[in-house]
Chains A and B, each alone.
Chain A
Amino acid sequence: MSMLEVNNLEVRYGRIRAIEKLDLTVERGEIVTLIGANGAGKTTTMRAIAGLLAASRGSIRFEDRDITKLKAYKRVPLGISLVPEGRGIFGSMTVMENLDMGTYSRSGKKADSELDRVFELFPRLAERRTQAGGTMSGGEQQMLAIARALMARPDMLLLDEPSMGLAPQFIRQIFRIIKEINAQGTTVLLVEQNANQALAIANHALVLESGRITKTGTGRELLADPSIKEAYLGVA
């Protein structure tokens, strides 16, 4: 049984069909990468898995449970956390308050060990506990968004373009941290335009074009694929 099984998924914005006939499976412990051009439907797919968008067709199963109709806020305690495109930092809350929001769905339980873990992964956040989230730099906000998602102790972390807008050394750091989070036992579904590094760390990868999956394979296979090289890796 796979951890996440998306079958024949279709999501619409009114009459526009943003994704259709989308199949995707993620095994426990994997890093799966989804790449695609602007407007291909990557964010739509992620939001549908997190429950922010309703499926007009198809099904989503998580840990052998049908969650297609489950409300988004109820998917968080099941172990699904999405770091949204654009990060979604609560700008006027401090770093600590943002991290606290991450524990919202499991309050009552102590979050000290999660806090230690995210401060270990992101030492800079520990120094900036009382800074307002909105005044952090883009890279720091991305770290905070990932840290906040980890506070919920997800079994599966969904990351929507975590490297967007970041400088190269920040991007390398983010990818290193994603690998580390995965090594610590969290399954990762990653959406990226930064295909090179995203494919390099992926066990499996899929290519999304105009709302449909057009290619699947291991990360390595897709890295070596000439058409992908041309379209997504900036190699002519």
Chain B
Amino acid sequence: MSGDWITFDLGRLVDSFWSTTLDGLTLGAIYALVALGYTLVYGVLNLINFAHSEVFIAGAFAVVFVLSGLGFGPSAPHMSLGLLILDIALAMIAAMLVSAGTALVVERVAYKPLRDKGAPRLAFLISAIGMSFVIQYLFFVWRGPSAEPNRTMYRPKPIFDVFGVIINSQQLTIIIAAVVMMVCVDQLVRRTKLGRGIRAVAQDPDTATLMGVNKERIIMATFMIGGALAGAAAVFYVMRVPAGVFYMGGFILGIKAFAAAVLGGIGNIRGALLGGLLIGLIGNYGATVLGDSQWTDVVIFVVLVVVLMVRPNGILGSNLGKVRA
């Protein structure tokens, strides 16, 4: 092994601080969208849905298939902006449907039967991990071990140049779209009738039932909302990490999204946003300083552990039930 398997060079980060930051926020926005799925389900069922990473990758496969069908290839297509937006919207709708559907199947197959039997928590955990493997290997058997070929939607163009900081169209699209979606979910949970039902079930399922809340419907809706967000994240993922769509791709991203949910405070919607952005930044800064993206996960988890030692419930703590309208 050569002597420079790890280098420590703050200068590299200083030189590329803004581009590292913007890219970190972009990745973080994707983590945050996926983190919401972990957080919503945890809030309602006190359950880590380990198969959520596969819910996400199913959406990413859907994006690739739809884009292929629409004629997208490895290089950016020549088409009008309107048509491009339409095509991306189609891919997003397909991904949201596929991911929401996958999430619903996971809930009905892996969790509902256990819930009906009043199974202990460990059973849910095993079932979750099993479901995750099943979906991973279904993709493995179907698509093989290698990644799907790149589907490039557009070439990122620099659009802002503020004091030498260049933000490109891809970063802007992803960050804005992700933040808008999260604000929508946050408002949905705070202001709508469905949101009231979600919060009530999260706090006290029996009392929620006594109010006339159909708990099973709320649970299904929660899985589907989390799934749809993962599907939306999948579109941005294919933009930012085009070579990342393969059977293990969900696991690799999911572990960071899960870390994001825990960092922000699992069960906490705003925590998922905060945690996602922080994980994106921390991972990117760490990789830049240490000189290799292999270090990203190590840095992320070291920071996560340190934060949890100080704040065991994550930065924003609390849970979904405690959300105030």
Contact assessment for B213 and A84 in the assembled complex, using a CB-CB cutoff below 8 Å = no
Contact A52 B206 (CB under 8 A): yes
Find out whether the CB atom of A92 lies under 8 angstroms from the CB atom of B210: no
Stretch at the interface among B165-173, B196-204, B230-238, B278-286: B196-204
Q: Which one of B204, B210, B213, B321 has the highest number of Cβ atoms from chain A below 10 Å of its Cβ?
A: B210
Q: Bin the interface of chain B by size.
A: 20 to 34
For the complex formed, measure the closest distance between the CB of A146 and the CB atoms of chain B, giving whole angstroms: 13
Q: Contacts A93-B199, A104-B196 known; A88 to B212 CB distance under 8 Å?
A: no
With A90-B200, A92-B203, A104-B193 known as contacts, the answer to whether A73 contacts B321 (CB < 8 A) is: no
Residue of chain B at shortest CB distance from A75: B212
Could you tell me if B209 and A52 are in contact, using CB atoms closer than 8 angstroms? Answer: yes
- B contacts with A: majority SS: helix
Which stretch, A95-103, A174-182, A211-219, touches the partner chain B?
A95-103
Q: Which B299-325 residues have a C-beta within 8 angstroms of A?
A: 321-325
Please provide the chain A residues from 26 to 55 with a CB less than 8 Å away from any CB of chain B in the complex. 50-52
CB of A73 within 8 A of CB of B209, answer yes
B199 / chain A contacts, CB cutoff of 8 Å: 90, 93
Instruction: Collect the chain A residues with CB atoms within 8 Å of residue B323's CB.
Output: 92
Interface residue? B7 (CB, 8 A): no
Residue interface bits B187-226, CB-to-A below 8 A is 1, else 0: 0000001001101100110111111111100000000000
Q: Residue A7 at the B interface, CB < 8 A?
A: no
Which B residues lie within 8 Å of A149 (CB)?
210
CA distance A74 to B325 in the complex (A): 26
In the complex the two chains form, is A76's CB within 8 Å of B210's CB?
yes
B207 near A90: Cβ-Cβ < 8 Å: yes
Q: Is there an interface contact between B212 and A77, defined as CB atoms closer than 8 Å?
A: yes
Q: What is A's interface to B at a CB cutoff of 8 Å?
A: 50-52, 71-74, 76-77, 81-82, 84, 88, 90-94, 97, 100-102, 104-107, 132, 148-149, 152
Residues of B within 8 A of A (CB): 193, 196-197, 199-200, 203-204, 206-215, 321-325
Report the 7 A-B pairs with minimum CB-CB distance, sorted nearest first. Answer: A105-B212, A88-B207, A76-B212, A92-B322, A104-B211, A101-B211, A72-B209
